[in-house]
Amino acid sequence: MTRFVLHRIGQSLLLLLLVSMIGFALLHLAPGGPLAQFALTPGMSQEAMQRIAHQMGLDQPLPAQYWQWLRRLLVGDWGRSYRDSQPVLWVIGSHLGATLELMASSTLLAMILGTGVGVLGAIRRYSLADYAAMVGAMVALSIPTFWFGLVMIYVFSVRLAWLPAGNIATAGDGSLLDYARHLIQPCVVLALVTVATWSRYMRASMLEVINQDYVRTARAKGLRQLQVLVHHSLRNALLPMITVAGVQLPILLSGALVTETVFTWPGMGRLFLDSLGYRDYPVVMGLLIFSAILVLAGNLIADLLYVVADPRIRLT
């Protein structure tokens, strides 16, 4: 067990190193490289540029540059935003909350709906509802998220005028109800893909469990169907979903970026697009690496949780 945990953590650190190398390579592909912001300053002479390049260590060989960059990365010095000179980590941190709220609420919604649909599909296999759910899931996976957002806005904001079309809150109105009204649409839009994926995995996982001996034994003992379903089948069928949740994380982050853009939700995704528009490369690269680290950490936690949650797994 300890060995597995250590091995898994070591593996993640190795991946982190690779991720940082990819990030570093991309940073140097950016036009002008790390010097871009100074090149735009008027009256900047060639000599001054070279001096700055020397100060920033850009005249050193690439491996040395990478090593310095990595050291700064590890101590939390991610550079400063071109736009407002704030530290990159601080800028990311100030937008993280909104994204996490959106992701958490939509994941919760998706898990509840997805579990329900998946379980129903498994116990009523090949029924009309099961087919409808499977086709629906496939269509849901094929809809461009941003377009689904536009359709939602058209129906619920433009036509019915029930919900606000964007933003996180009405200015001057700090009530929870107002926040909830703003959250509904982006939450549902972001949940769409997750519901589809979750229900498909849930159905498969449930089908596997339903045919196990201990479920038949539970039925044979004369337990009520619902009790067998919840206590014997569902609990075990949910276990592999921990891994699914981890694997879904990058897709969820991608979805959040698009959803936040459509609904002008002030999170990490919008920050990313804004920074891209301003060519604010330190923030863009910071967000790119930050999201990759988030995914890495999410997968690691999911793997460790799975071992804790499922005592049948004996790792050496």
Alpha-carbon distance 161 to 154, whole Å? Answer: 9
Give one DSSP letter per residue of 240-299, joined into a string.
THHHHHHHHHHHHHHHHHHHHHHTT--SHHHHHHHHHHTT-HHHHHHHHHHHHHHHHHHH
Structure tokens of 234? 């569902």
Angle of CA points 285, 257, 264, to nearest 5°: 115
Residue 279 engages another protein in binding (rule: CB under 8 A): yes
Figure out which of the listed residues 284, 286, 302, 303 binds another protein, where binding follows CB under 8 A.
284
Measured from the CB atom, the residue of 30 and 307 that comes closer to another protein is 30
Residue 104 engages another protein in binding (rule: CB under 8 A): no
- What distance lies between CA 52 and its chain's CA centroid? 37
Query: Which residues fall within 8 angstroms of residue 86, CB to CB, at 6 or more apart?
Result: 80
Residue 88 engages another protein in binding (rule: CB under 8 A): no
The Cα-based distances of 183 to 87, 154, 163 in angstroms read 29, 16, 9
User: Taking the complex as a whole, how short is the minimal distance between the CB of residue 301 and another protein, in angstroms?
Assistant: 14
Q: Site map for another protein, 225-264, x if CB under 8 A?
A: -------------------------xx-xx--xx--xx--
Number of residues that bind another protein (CB under 8 A): 52
Residue 14 engages another protein in binding (rule: CB under 8 A): yes
- Show contacts with another protein in window 158-177 (CB under 8 A): 158
Query: Which residues contact another protein by CB under 8 A?
Result: 14-15, 18-19, 21-22, 26, 29-31, 135, 138-139, 141-148, 150-151, 153-154, 158, 197, 200-201, 204-205, 250-251, 253-254, 257-258, 261-262, 272-273, 276, 279, 284-285, 287-288, 291-293, 295-296
